[in-house]
Amino acid sequence: MTVLPPRRPWRRPAPIRCVPVTQSLPETSDRSYRALLRVPRLGRTLVAMQIARVAQSMVGVALVLFTLLEYGSPILAGAVTFVSIVPGLVVSPIAGALLDRHGRVRLITLDYIVTLGTLVLLGVLALAKLLPPPLLLLIAAVSSLTSILSHTGLRSLFPLIVPHHLWERLNAIDSNGYVVATILGPPIAASLVALLGGATALIVVGASFGFAAVAMIGVPDPPSAIASTGNLLLDAWHGLVYTWRNRTLRGLGFAISTLNIAGGIGTIVVPLIVLQRLGLGEVFVGGVFAISGITGMASALLFGRIDSRGREWRMLVWPMVAMAPGVALLLAAAGAGPLGLGIAAGLALTGASLAITGLLNGPLDIALFTVRQRRTEQAWMGRAFAVSMAFNFAGFPLGAALGGIVAEVSIEAAIVIGIAACLLAALLAATMIPKGEPLS
């Protein structure tokens, strides 16, 4: 039986290897985006990252549309989204320990290969009419087990190869990696579903992960400080304890996971509004999701130019508050028909809602990424980031599952839950995340 280490004091395992991993450039060095791109080895890593994130952005939309069209069930669509994420979150402490002990690049590549195989399997079985809902859920769950390796692996790799004074610029590029994926992924996925059908679209999306795996070839894995006991499970447990006792990471977990409930609900509600309430095609679903990416890109680049030290708390809390009225626009969009607003107005309101959330995600992402980097010790980045990112994202599959269940009865009720999640997230962030700069 594993026993929790004493609350005070807690002895961290001594690093078994400790190598400086960031360039020792003075704080007065060039802080421009041009300087960031001059960092050795970063360019190829960013290319591999972008290919993978576009593919990951395609998966979510393709799975939801495939399930809605193939089975006609919002509940099943929410369940598929839930199981495609949650198992990966559950194994995140072990994934983080593996990343700290065995490097990041090979494990990131492993995830891409596993995702390629599972998506192709889903598509082939669906074409052969051999994919009942339980098997769909099982394969989606298996595919999620390695997903945390690529998400955390890239996020913890970046601060190891980029100097501290360029972290805001780095995090803007990192955030915009998701933004570009949001712009490109959903429209491409929706178009593939509309043109080729859901099953074939899954195979094509799976193939894109193969390109991401190829792009990772030759990406170096920098050395880093490691705090290890030599026991994988014990290392994973220590990662959980470290993350929970870090006040900043704990506060971020409660606040961001609550905010992500709204995001998960939106993943189900937006397609339902476009397809059912407005009577439009799958391509429009991808189009409105892309709007949030376009606005988010400009916002992230702008806030990436700002030194976030001492401003992280404000950059986290106020965007969460402002997201509530943005999400509320979906209520009007869902009721566009009964209110006599028309299809065009309903589509415009949906796009406006996603545009607002995209704009607000810019400062929020920069603050989230940077404060986590600053307040996590280097030797714990793999485990702490894995646990923290899993904790932060836990609300998304919960929101998707909840949104599917509630939207089956009332789309408006699901949206109201999303609004409440935004406001509660802001309250949690305001009260739980320390404002100070030191490790908390």
- Confidence check: pLDDT of 233 > 60: yes
Write out the E strands in 220-330: 226-227
The pLDDT tens digits for 263-307 are 999 988 999 999 889 989 878 888 888 888 788 878 877 887 777
Both tokens of 401, joined, read: 């599952």
Tell me how far apart the alpha carbons of residues 262 and 278 are, in angstroms, rounded to a whole number: 21
Confidence band of 418 (pLDDT split at 50, 70, 90): very high
Domains of the chain: 38-432 (1.20.1250.20)
The pLDDT tens digits for 25-70 are 444 467 777 788 787 778 778 888 888 888 888 888 889 889 988 8
Confidence band of 10 (pLDDT split at 50, 70, 90): very low
The overall pTM is greater than 0.85: no
Task: Average the pLDDT over 212-235 and give the result.
Answer: 76
- Confidence check: pLDDT of 16 > 60: no
Residue appearing with tokens 């939309």 = 61
Tell me how far apart the alpha carbons of residues 161 and 220 are, in angstroms, rounded to a whole number: 10
Rounded percentage of the chain residues whose pLDDT exceeds 70: 89
Task: Average the pLDDT over 323-329 and give the result.
Answer: 95
Both tokens of 363, joined, read: 């400062």
The pLDDT tens digits for 239-263 are 899 999 999 999 999 999 999 999 9
CA dist 334 to 269, 271, 331, 339, 361, Å? 9, 11, 5, 9, 23
Among 295, 308, 415, smallest CA distance to 367 is for 308
| pLDDT at residue 286 in the model | 80
Between the ranges 87-91, 352-356, 370-374, where is the mean pLDDT highest? Answer: 352-356
| pLDDT at residue 15 in the model | 42
- Confidence check: pLDDT of 5 > 50: no
* DSSP line for 17-28: E----S----TT
* DSSP line for 172-184: HHHHHHHHHHHHH
